[in-house]
Structure 1
């Protein structure tokens, strides 16, 4: 899956073939086919891993609310290779059926913990801002430096402080 992600990032979705992934991974095509019998199965696997990784990342944050954990996890994702995974899997899955688990996870991420937020609308705004940050930095990873990220993080945390 790492090789497929790198291939997508380097060459785009049109170059995602099982042969190209096997070559990039340094394995035989038969070895790859043992784990992923189709390109769709490979994309499905990348999406499932992405969801599990982000769920784990959110759960590992030591924060007082789901929105704060979501915000912290987003900044980890944006400032690491995890963001690339988000971008390439989304770009690779042109089939709406393949994106269904990601849509379901996104809906869950945006509903989670809303009933315990001091200001649910501010929590929604912060989570939407996180999505925007992912999208913008996908297209221009070098747009923000550490100081800008910290300023963004602080402003978004201030929104979560409540009315």
Structure 2
């Protein structure tokens, strides 16, 4: 069995049943492999959580990269907003995976890769944007919206999310 299928199984257990249910036995059962088969790829629960965190960070980095439109002022912040809304409005509702994985990464060494990614995503060179302070506010607003939607997905419908996205992007143009 491939690592991605094992990570998918772990994410399913985590999302559906919570952090307490995330055990190697539960993941192996969900994946339809023996515990030994899971241990071949992930020797510990911590290694499994670390791999889930690394995967979602890589996926978000790839989303940002897919929206970059050159080196124009604000390109990164626009790409960050676009990527965030891809996660929030996509069919797979990836923000739910993120929330579950973040909850599982409670031990500092497991959370550090996510903390480092946050420093990278939010600590960009202010000179890259027309209005560096506005860019920070926009990225933080997108991050906050992600957090709110993670806890109350029914709060905003697609039309409202679209309007919020357009407003955030417009703030970057000023």
Alignment TM class, shorter chain as reference: over 0.9
| TM-score (normalizing by structure 2) | 0.89
Equivalent of 2:89 in 79, 90, 107: 79
- After superposition, residues 63-102 of structure 1 pair within 5 angstroms as 63=69, 64=72, 65-80=75-90, 81-102=93-114
In structure 1, how many angstroms separate the alpha carbons of the residues matched to 2:137 and 2:10? 33
Measure how far apart 1:113 and its partner are: 4.6
Shift of 1:142: 2.2
Of 125, 133, 138, which aligns to 1:126? 138
Among candidates 48, 54, 57, match of residue 48 of structure 1: 54
Relative to the length of structure 1, the TM-score reads 0.95
Unpaired runs of at least 5, structure 1: none
- Which residue of structure 2 aligns with residue 150 of structure 1? 162
Match for residue 64 of structure 2?
A: 58
Q: Are 1:66 and 1:113, in contact at CA under 8 Å, matched by a contact in 2?
A: no
Residue deviations 1:80-100 (CA, integer Å, cap 9, x gap): 332122101110111011101
Aligned Cα root-mean-square deviation (Å):
1.2
Higher alpha-carbon deviation: 79-88 or 118-127:
79-88
Where structure 2 has 5 or more consecutive residues not aligned to the other structure, the ranges are 1-6
